[in-house]
Amino acid sequence: MFKRKEDAVLSAQEIKTLVGLGCIFEGNITVSDGITRIDGQILGNVSGKGGLIVGEKGVIKGNVSLEEVVVYGRVEGNIRAKRVELKAGSRVDGDITTEELAIERGAIYNGQCRMEKVEGGAQAPED
């Protein structure tokens, strides 16, 4: 869990895009900036700039490439971000490429992790 002052930026920013509970979106999403929150399902890739919050009931079946990603729900695909945080109760099945990774007790992570400098996040990681 990130504890530095600048780490509060994701939770303090305004959510600009919301996929609500019960919504199923098929296709890729490109985010220009701000925070995107997924409480429904995305069947496709999520990429761009800004941050992503996958809510407790949220599911992404595709690759994720953004600046910062916080997962409370489930991601079935690869994640590429400067910072990734897996919260208790979350599940990620896929590889993670990041500069900073935090995994809380109770999170499930199945994949390989590569720690390296990550630029931007404009393109989704390859399968």
The answer to whether 17 and 34 are in contact (CB under 8 A) is yes
> What is the 3-state secondary structure of 78-113?
CEEEEEEEECCCCEEECCEEEEEEEECCCCEEECCE
pLDDT at position 1, please? 38
Both structure tokens of 4: 């530095």
pLDDT at position 16, please? 85
pLDDT at position 32, please? 82
Give the pTM: 0.84
Q: What is the mean pLDDT of each run of 10 residues along the chain (127 residues)?
A: 45 77 95 91 95 96 97 98 97 97 97 88 49
> What is the 3-state secondary structure of the chain?
CCCCHHHHHHHHCCEEEEECCCCEEECCEEECCCEEEECCEEECCEEECCEEEECCCCEECCCEECCEEEECCEEECCEEEEEEEECCCCEEECCEEEEEEEECCCCEEECCEEECCCCCCCCCCCC
The answer to whether 36 and 55 are in contact (CB under 8 A) is no
The answer to whether 52 and 34 are in contact (CB under 8 A) is no
**Token pair 């490109």 is at which residue?**
30
pLDDT at position 124, please? 46
